[in-house]
Amino acid sequence: MSRATLIAASQLLLAVLLVAGVWIGLPSRWLWVDLPLSALALACLVIGGGMLAAKTWALRAVRVLLWVELTVGTLIVSLLGLSIGQLAGSYGPVGSGGAVLMATIALLIVPYLVILPALLLAVARKLG
């Protein structure tokens, strides 16, 4: 498997995971969550397809997308971390239960929106 195919496959997989996480995993609709994450999923789908089709614009676009993924992932994990501290500190034992839930969500996000984009940036750098 070539590096470009690896990046394309990972972006297509991330698109599916984002759509499933937002539209199936979340119990209620929040426009400020649904819209940006759905747009990120659409970008992953389009750029992943462009990488598979070896389009000339795809390599530059995937680098920008990977930085966006890394930024969004870091922001989400940071906000969840702040929420964990606030819940645990303000609401005692009940807040600790919510904090455990938030920590679990953060741990599920880290591999796909922080670690994977960072690794793929290193791979994309070697493409050209």
66 and 117 Cβ atoms separated by less than 8 Å: yes
User: What are the structural domain ranges in the chain?
Assistant: 3-125
Q: Give residue-wise pLDDT tens across range 87-118.
A: 888 988 888 888 998 899 899 999 999 999 99
Flag whether pLDDT at 52 surpasses 90. Answer: yes
44: closest CA among 8, 73, 78? Answer: 8
C-beta atoms surrounding 125 within 10 Å: 9
107: closest CA among 63, 64, 77, 65? Answer: 77
Q: Give residue-wise pLDDT tens across range 19-36.
A: 999 999 888 888 988 999
User: Distance between alpha carbon 93 and the CA centroid of its chain, in Å?
Assistant: 30
Q: Which residues contact 25 (CB under 8 A, 6 or more apart)?
A: none
pTM exceeds cut of 0.85 = yes
